[in-house]
């Protein structure tokens, strides 16, 4: 039941039907009895800028941005915070009453929060991290790992030039390799789309990883990827991509709707049920 004062937010994407964000934010809105709505907003790339400006003028508090709009959103913002600047893209927008648009990237934050939840005791300072992939999501995660004190970050990507460009943008203790070694790692991250439903699995032998290593997958369909199954079978701590999806949503929800939401088993089960369909 919305009143005339209802707070409004949504997710812009093209297409957007696959997005789980309306279900996720809708769960929190209902849990907290908030007078507000979070809508799926399908917007073609050529209409993106016009649509965002219109939302800001229509009294929306803000929006999430998903594929393929994250870079366009970055370019459109009046201000982007340090994390978003480092990632070169934004996934969360905040609108001022004067139509001002501010942006940030919460994927890296969501990733770190998810590891802290699913592998308690892990810290970015524990040791070297290897990330497979160099796409948009990896940009945000790599920046977050470095900001949290990761002492050595190794990037490996099918297209090495993309990893090299990211390493240059990031600065700090970052290196690029085409033959990644797993011994001595504190963290291994799959940031590619390999292992996703309909894609080939990630071919990797986890045997050389130390028993203390954490293996994290950004893929969340399926929830248990072959990579995570192999990690668990070896007794390693495994972190799925759903946690990242749930946690990246928290900062936006809090600012738009005025309540700090929590990620718990009930929310997880509610969103996971939708992934199984
Ligand atoms: N859990 C979450 O909340 C969350 C959020 C965002 C994204 N994700 C997931 O993170 C992954 C990356 O997303 P993104 O937005 O960063 O996508 P992206 O920008 O399109 O990057 C895709 C990455 O996967 C690599 N890749 C694709 N197919 C490959 C193959 N056959 N062999 C080797 N590498 C391959 C690409 O390598 P090239 O550079 O060589 O093309 C690139 O590094 C996806 O699985 C996505 O579902 C999860």
Give, using CA atoms, the residue closest to atom 25 of ligand 1. 192
Residues within the annotated binding site? 19-21, 66, 91, 107, 133-137, 157-162, 218, 220, 241, 248
Task: Using the atom order of ligand 1, give the atom closest to the CA of residue 200.
Answer: 31
Tokens 């459109």 locate to 76
pLDDT over 70 percentage in the chain: 100
Domain 7-106+249-275 architecture: 3-Layer(aba) Sandwich (3.40)
Give residue-wise pLDDT tens across range 159-194.
999 999 999 999 999 999 999 999 999 999 999 999
Give residue-wise pLDDT tens across range 47-88.
999 999 999 999 999 999 998 999 899 999 999 999 999 888
Handedness of CA 117, 123, 126, 129 (dihedral sign): positive
Query: Would you place residue 1 in the very low, low, confident or very high pLDDT band (cuts 50, 70, 90)?
Result: confident
218 lines ligand 1 (CB under 6 A): yes
Q: Which CA distances in Å does 208 have to 127, 165, 180, 232?
A: 15, 28, 11, 15
Per-residue pLDDT averaged across 146-162, rounded? 97
Per-residue pLDDT, 69: 92
Give residue-wise pLDDT tens across range 22-32.
999 999 999 99
pLDDT higher than 70, residue 277: no
Give, using CA atoms, the residue closest to atom 3 of ligand 1. 245
159 lines ligand 1 (CB under 6 A): yes
Given a contact cutoff of 8 angstroms between Cβ atoms, the answer to whether 34 and 259 are in contact is yes
Give residue-wise pLDDT tens across range 206-232.
999 999 999 999 999 999 999 999 999
Task: Using the atom order of ligand 1, give the atom closest to the CA of residue 134.
Answer: 43
19 lines ligand 1 (CB under 6 A): no
The per-residue pLDDT of the chain, averaged, comes to: 96
Per-residue pLDDT, 78: 97
Query: Would you place residue 100 in the very low, low, confident or very high pLDDT band (cuts 50, 70, 90)?
Result: very high
User: For residue 190, how far is its CA from the centre of ligand 1 (angstroms)?
Assistant: 9
Give, using CA atoms, the residue closest to atom 1 of ligand 1. 241
Give residue-wise pLDDT tens across range 126-147.
999 999 999 889 999 999 999 9
**Within a 10 A sphere around the Cβ of 276, how many other Cβ atoms?**
8
The two domains 7-106+249-275 and 108-243 share their CATH topology (first three levels equal): yes
Tokens 């939401």 locate to 261
CATH topology (fold) of 108-243: Rossmann fold (3.40.50)
196 lines ligand 1 (CB under 6 A): yes
213 lines ligand 1 (CB under 6 A): no
Given a contact cutoff of 8 angstroms between Cβ atoms, the answer to whether 171 and 203 are in contact is no
Question: What single string gives the DSSP state of each residue in 20-60?
Answer: -HHHHHHHHHHHTT-SEEEEEEE--GGGHHHHHHHHHHTT-
Task: Using the atom order of ligand 1, give the atom closest to the CA of residue 163.
Answer: 39
Give, using CA atoms, the residue closest to atom 19 of ligand 1. 135
- Spatial strand order in the sheet of 62-65: 36-42, 7-13, 62-65, 92-95, 101-104, 79-80
Burial label for 41, CB within 10 Å (0-12, 13-18, 19+), is buried
268 lines ligand 1 (CB under 6 A): no
129 lines ligand 1 (CB under 6 A): no
Per-residue pLDDT, 276: 75
Query: Would you place residue 111 in the very low, low, confident or very high pLDDT band (cuts 50, 70, 90)?
Result: very high
- Rounded to 5 degrees, φ, ψ at 150 are -55, 125
Per-residue pLDDT, 26: 98
Per-residue pLDDT, 89: 87
Tokens 């393929």 locate to 68
Contacts 24+ apart (CB under 8 A), 225-231: 225/190, 225/195, 225/196, 225/201, 226/195, 226/201, 226/202, 227/190, 227/195, 227/201, 227/202, 230/204, 230/206, 231/206
Q: Is 70 a catalytic residue?
A: yes
Task: Using the atom order of ligand 1, give the atom closest to the CA of residue 110.
Answer: 3
Residue 59 or 1, more confident: 59
Q: Which of 7, 25, 70, 85 is catalytic?
A: 70
Residue 157 or 1, more confident: 157
Domain positions in the chain are 7-106+249-275, 108-243
CA distance 154 to 80: 26
Per-residue pLDDT, 275: 86
């Amino acid at each position: 039941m919305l009143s005339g004062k209802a707070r409004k937010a949504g997710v812009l994407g093209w297409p957007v039907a696959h997005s789980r964000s309306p279900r996720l934010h809708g769960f929190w809105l209902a849990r907290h009895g908030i007078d507000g709505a979070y809508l799926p907003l399908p917007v073609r790339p050529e209409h993106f800028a016009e649509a965002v400006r219109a939302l800001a003028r229509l009294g929306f508090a803000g929006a999430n941005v998903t594929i393929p709009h994250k870079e366009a959103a970055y370019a459109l913002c009046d201000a982007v915070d340090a994390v978003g600047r480092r990632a070169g893209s934004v996934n969360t927008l905040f609108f001022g009453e004067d139509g001002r648009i501010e942006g940030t990237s919460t994927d890296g934050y969501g990733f770190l929060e998810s590891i802290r939840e699913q592998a308690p005791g892990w810290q970015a300072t524990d040791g070297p991290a290897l990330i497979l992939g160099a796409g948009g999501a990896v940009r945000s995660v790599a920046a977050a790992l470095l900001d949290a004190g990761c002492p050595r970050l190794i990037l490996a990507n099918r297209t090495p030039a993309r990893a090299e460009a990211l390493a240059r943008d990031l600065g700090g203790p970052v290196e690029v390799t085409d033959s990644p070694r797993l011994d001595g790692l504190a963290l291994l991250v799959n940031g590619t789309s390999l292992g996703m439903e309909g894609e080939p699995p990630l071919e990797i032998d986890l045997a050389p990883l130390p028993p203390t290593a954490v293996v994290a997958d950004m893929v969340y369909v399926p929830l248990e990827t072959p990579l995570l199954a192999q990690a668990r079978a070896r007794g390693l701590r495994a972190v799925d991509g759903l946690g990242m999806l749930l946690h990246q949503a928290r900062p936006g929800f809090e600012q738009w709707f005025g309540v700090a939401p929590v990620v718990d088993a009930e929310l997880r089960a509610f969103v996971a049920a939708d992934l199984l369909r």
